[in-house]
Structure 1
């Protein structure tokens, strides 16, 4: 099997696992906190940002074709986090007359995403 095919399989396997994890977390958050606000997507995107920041700090950008990078970042976290769901849920809130919740979702996702990615990177470096 060629390297290109192996790379695609690594990303596909990671993406399948990430997508299943996203569904599980989103459903759990909806069950616990209700569906009035997209808590599941917010939790998924921020925990994904934390993991991505940690992996970036630990591995760096030097080898984005490594087995670890392809499986974990491109595959697992690519399937786990979701800009499309975030965008559609924010639009749904906006069109539903909930401009405040739409703004809160957009602001919280952006702010927490950056904070969590930074925290993940710092954790990988031992806060040094």
Structure 2
């Protein structure tokens, strides 16, 4: 049982550090007026979650690896709370249209990412 918590904690630490790197990179590229970094990590994380979901379903999940990658790493990398705060910040700045674009775009593209990732993962596992 302790091993499971250790795998999640280690994965979460790695995922959180990766999230910070992506957010800072996005801010350096597009500025801080739009939360592109948070949107990027959530979209990338959704696609990767789809791939891993397909692989784990097809091969049968190695529990410590699944906990490290899916619960820990992707749990630390993606963030719904930051997404919610970023949407509120856009709204509070009077940028309701941009806030709506961000919310709807993140949800729709995130779902598309997990579907695409799952499809890719199944194709890879079928080969």
Fold equivalence (TM over 0.5): yes
Q: Which runs of 5+ in 1 are unaligned?
A: none
Contact 1:51/1:120 (8 A) holds in 2: yes
Q: After the TM superposition, which residues 63-102 of structure 1 pair with which residues of structure 2 at under 5 Å, given as runs?
A: 66-102=63-99
Tell me which residue corresponds to 2:118: 121
List structure 1 segments (4+ residues) > 4 angstroms apart after TM superposition. Answer: 61-65
**Alignment RMSD, CA only?**
1.8
Contact 2:58/2:122 (8 A) holds in 1: no
SS in 2 for 1:60: helix
SS in 1 for 2:33: coil
Give the length in aligned residue pairs. Answer: 125
TM-score (norm 1): 0.92
Of 62-71 and 7-16, the range deviating more from structure 2: 62-71
CA deviations 1:28-49 (Å, max 9, x no partner) are 0000011110000010000000
Contact 1:64/1:70 (8 A) holds in 2: no
Alignment CA distance shift 1:61-1:118 (3 Å): same
Cα separation, 2, equivalents of 1:122 and 1:64 = 17
TM-score (norm 2): 0.93
Q: Which runs of 5+ in 2 are unaligned?
A: none
Alignment CA distance shift 1:62-1:88 (3 Å): farther
The structure carrying a bigger helix percent of its residues is 2
Cα separation, 1, equivalents of 2:21 and 2:39 = 13
Shift of 1:51: 0.4
